[in-house]
Amino acid sequence: MSQLKRIIVVAGARPNFMKIARLVERLKKNRGFECLLVHTGQHYDFVMSEVFFQELRIPKPDVFLNVGSGSHAEQTAKIMTTFEAVLLDEKPDLVVVAGDVNSTLACSLTAAKLHIKVAHIESGLRSFDRTMPEEINRIVTDALSDIYFVSEQSGVENLIREGAAKKSIHLVGSVMIDPVVRMAKAIDRSRILRRLDLKPQNYAVLTLHRPSNVDSAEMLAEIYEILSAVSERIRLVYPIHPRTSDRMQTHDLLNQFTELKDLQMIEPLGYLDFVKLVKDSRFVLTDSGSIQEETTYLHIPCLTMRDNTERPSTVEMGTNKLVGRDKKVITKAVDCILTGKWRPGRVPRYWDGKTTERILDVLANP
């Protein structure tokens, strides 16, 4: 592969910002590269976007596409049409995308159609559940990519099975751990526990946003019963995702959740406050993907309210357990944690805060 000098790095949604922060900083300081950061605007409000740029010291985007919200098709189409103009104007050697959001799919597809090479951070992750839009994004992006940066061994095996060239697959570790390590002192300085009147280990963190959990009144009714049972055992702190709040309001259930005595619903948090909240918690109840990695690294028990995960190493090696929306399974797991019977888990290979450096080594010697 020829030398990759002119690189566009794409970010667009909250999960992307942590993944590209260090990479963009290093590329812009390296005289061997010319790096442009493109922010698609998939997440466009302050807490979901700008605060992450401030806290993680991400340089101001060179290009802001400002696509906003919409259906999957609308948002993907907006990103493709606006990003195409950027590619035609800038003529990069490589486009770097991360994760599995709509911006990842749209920008990789646009680049591939213009015969521009694509590198995918977090390649090969598979839940094997195509009802999840993220799974479709992952599969299509990997099918179009030229360089694969993989976070865990399962990703390597998935890519080989799907026909990816072995020489293009690079096991580099979890890029989600890099900012946890890099920002450790700033995270510890967070005053979020004091602001929320919390004591370490005396609360659990809740995050829920996936359509499979929050889109219907029936799902939310199940969630309510689960949270009611869990909050009888320990206080739950819930930085509520705007999408989930909207669904609760749509189904006239927001007040019902708000009235749960030991469910503390708060606004979304920036990166430093959120990681501090997780780090000092007793456990996390979530349907997120990336939080499964962060909790494994931090040795915090994680109960994932899904029936599958694209990060199996967090279950096999780490502190993660898949619990779905099964109230009995969840309350049993909570009791196991609170009585000190939870297994400690291990951190997978290369989840050490140095993933960005390994990615840079590959880009410098493709």
Tokens of 52: 């992450």
What mean pLDDT is predicted for residues 143-154?
Answer: 98
Question: For the chain, where are the alpha helices, taking DSSP H only?
Answer: 14-29, 51-55, 72-90, 102-113, 133-144, 153-161, 177-182, 184-189, 192-195, 211-214, 217-230, 242-250, 254-258, 271-279, 290-298, 313-316, 327-338, 355-364
Residue 46's pLDDT band (boundaries 50, 70, 90)? very low
Return the active site residues. Answer: 209
Cα angle: 141, vertex 142, 143; to 5 degrees: 90
Tokens of 246: 């909207």
pLDDT tens digits for range 58-106: 888 999 998 877 788 999 999 999 999 999 999 999 999 999 999 999 9
DSSP character string of 39-58: E--SS-SIIIIIHHHHHTTP
pLDDT score of 49: 62
Pairing of strands 94-98, 117-123: parallel
For the chain, what are the domain ranges?
Answer: 6-173+351-364, 185-338
Whose structure tokens read 């080989």?
Answer: 160
pLDDT tens digits for range 298-345: 999 999 999 999 999 999 999 999 999 999 999 999 999 999 999 989
Instruction: Indicate if 185-338 has the same CATH topology as 6-173+351-364.
Output: yes
Q: Is the pLDDT of residue 50 over 80?
A: no
Reference 276, options 339, 336, 194, 210; nearest CA is 194
Q: In this structure, which CATH number among 3.40.50.1370, 3.40.50.10470, 3.40.50.2000, 3.40.50.170 belongs to the domain 6-173+351-364? A: 3.40.50.2000
Q: Is the pLDDT of residue 48 over 60?
A: no
Q: Is the pLDDT of residue 268 over 70?
A: yes
Q: Is the pLDDT of residue 169 over 80?
A: yes
Residue 43's pLDDT band (boundaries 50, 70, 90)? low
Pairing of strands 63-64, 34-39: parallel
What mean pLDDT is predicted for residues 277-289?
Answer: 96
Dihedral (CA of 192, 184, 294, 151) sign: positive
What single letter denotes the amino acid at residue 349?
A: R
Reference 56, options 23, 96, 8; nearest CA is 23
**184-219 per-residue burial string, b: 16 or more CB within 10 A, e: under 16:** eebbeebebbeeeebeeeebbbbbbbbebbbeeeeb
pTM for this one? 0.94
Q: In this structure, which CATH number among 3.40.50.720, 3.40.50.2000, 3.30.43.10, 3.40.50.450 belongs to the domain 185-338? A: 3.40.50.2000
pLDDT tens digits for range 199-230: 999 999 999 988 888 888 899 999 999 999 99
**Interatomic CA distance for residues 322 and 308, integer angstroms:** 7
